[in-house]
Structure 1
Amino acid sequence: MSDEWQTYGCQIDGQMAFVTYDHGVSTELDSLSFENLAVFSIEIADPDSRGMPAGEEANRLNALEDFLDELLQPDRALIVGRITCNGVRTLYSYTLLGSAECHEIAGAIELQSGRAVTLRHCPDLTRAGYWQELFPSDDDLQVIKDMRMHEMLMERGDPLTEPRPIRHWAYFKTADSRRAFLDDVAQHLRGLNDDAYETDDGQFAAMLEHVGLPDWQSMNAFTMKLNGLATKAGGEYDGWETELKGPQAHS
């Protein structure tokens, strides 16, 4: 288990979901001797209207994950991620243990917690459980970046409730591809002002600005569209920045 865990929000079967996965282990998966995927799904007690844990339930679920880690044992298994969706916390692990042993562990968690626990156990030499169910898509990676900005602003005391100018950058190899990008942006997104210039290293840059809220949910509608349009035009969307609001803005 590495220290490089990431979280992003997404939709699974039309339901809000949060995925947390070990990004650091992505370079080590192929060398692991753990051949089996064991996925433990634990019922959330009294989930909120979104199917998410409420109040102290998040701490109780974290304690159950620690208990699972103890039962699996680090030399026999590795937990690589979790999905929280529709009233269920699903924990993903790779392990040397067989199906019977993992069913015993699921039973121990049920006994400890009084919750329903289901198990999915199968060989997974290609690590499909990690790459296809946990690892983020390009859009999910953009959510991660937006959530990082959201968290950074909040850590500095910004309540994220005041609209303000937000600037975006994208870079292209040719002026024509930049022009195609800006034309697409004008068709798909309203309220964006743009500026075009050439960088010192010969790239063709586009800076766009809109006024809005910088929380990740509000931003993501813009950033995923800009990321997709920049990629379509052969360029790269490079993210956004904004000014800090709140008590620490002038400190």
Structure 2
Amino acid sequence: MRKYFTLFFGVLFGVSSCQQKETKDFENKKQAQINANLKVINSLRNEGDNLIVSREVFHWIYFKNENEKNSYLKEVQKQRFLLVSSNKIDDKFPYQLQIKRVDKVDESSVNEYVIYLWEKALEYNGDYDGWETSVEK
């Protein structure tokens, strides 16, 4: 009985360790996305952009299959994101989706909607590839 008990705790701690690693990986990737957002925001700021002026912000997301792409699009349309284009390309994630919405591009606003899109992409097995917008003065 003692061997079984020890093995059982080893399995439990192994699962806990894996969950901690997944959580850490997720948080690291989330932070990397926030850092990428900041680079774009700083580039806009350096161009004299008034970050609180609303404008169209475009986003690219890629998926492995069309059903996941379509499900993702339906989900984000509930948050007023609009379809710009949908293409099939020669890639590991061949189903390309471009969406847009009118938003501000200050750090708080960008992180809110980009992290939402990024997390939804993960939920639908997609890859959020970034965003761009025009400079507004």
Matched, 1:163 2:58: no
1:150 is aligned to: 41
- Percentage of matched positions with identical amino acids: 25
Q: Distance in 1 between matches of 2:109 and 2:52?
A: 11
Q: Distance in 1 between matches of 2:42 and 2:115?
A: 18
- Higher strand proportion: 1
Q: Distance in 2 between matches of 1:192 and 1:161?
A: 19
Matched, 1:193 2:76: no
- Kindly tell me the number of residue pairs found equivalent between the two proteins: 110
Give how far 1:244 is off: 1.1
2:135 is aligned to: 244
Q: Distance in 1 between matches of 2:55 and 2:89?
A: 26
Q: Distance in 2 between matches of 1:159 and 1:170?
A: 26
2:114 is aligned to: 223
1:111 is aligned to: none
Query: Any stretches of 5+ residues in structure 2 without a counterpart?
Result: 1-23
- RMSD between superposed Cα atoms in Å: 1.8
Give how far 1:139 is off: 2.2
Which 4+ residue blocks in structure 1 deviate beyond 3 angstroms? none
Normalised by the length of structure 1, the TM-score is 0.41
Q: Distance in 1 between matches of 2:35 and 2:108?
A: 11
**3-state SS in 2 of match to 1:137:** helix
**3-state SS in 2 of match to 1:244:** coil
Q: Distance in 2 between matches of 1:186 and 1:214?
A: 19
Which whole-Å deviations, capped at 9, do the CAs of 1:4-49 have from their partners, x for residues lacking one? Answer: xxxxxxxxxxxxxxxxxxxxxxxxxxxxxxxxxxxxxxxxxxxxxx
Give how far 1:221 is off: 1.1
Give how far 1:210 is off: 0.4
Normalised by the length of structure 2, the TM-score is 0.72
Matched, 1:138 2:29: yes
Higher normalized contact order (CA 8 Å, seq sep 6+, divided by chain length): 2
2:14 is aligned to: none
- Higher helix proportion: 2
1:178 is aligned to: 69
Q: Distance in 2 between matches of 1:176 and 1:217?
A: 32
Q: Aligned match of 2:126 in 218, 227, 235?
A: 235
Kindly name which structure, 1 or 2, has the bigger radius of gyration based on alpha carbons.
Answer: 1
**3-state SS in 1 of match to 2:43:** helix
Give how far 1:186 is off: 2.8
Q: Distance in 2 between matches of 1:173 and 1:245?
A: 35
Q: How does 1:97-136 map to 2 (within 5 A)?
A: none
Query: Any stretches of 5+ residues in structure 1 without a counterpart?
Result: 1-131, 247-251
AA matched with 2:58: R
Q: Distance in 1 between matches of 2:77 and 2:104?
A: 20
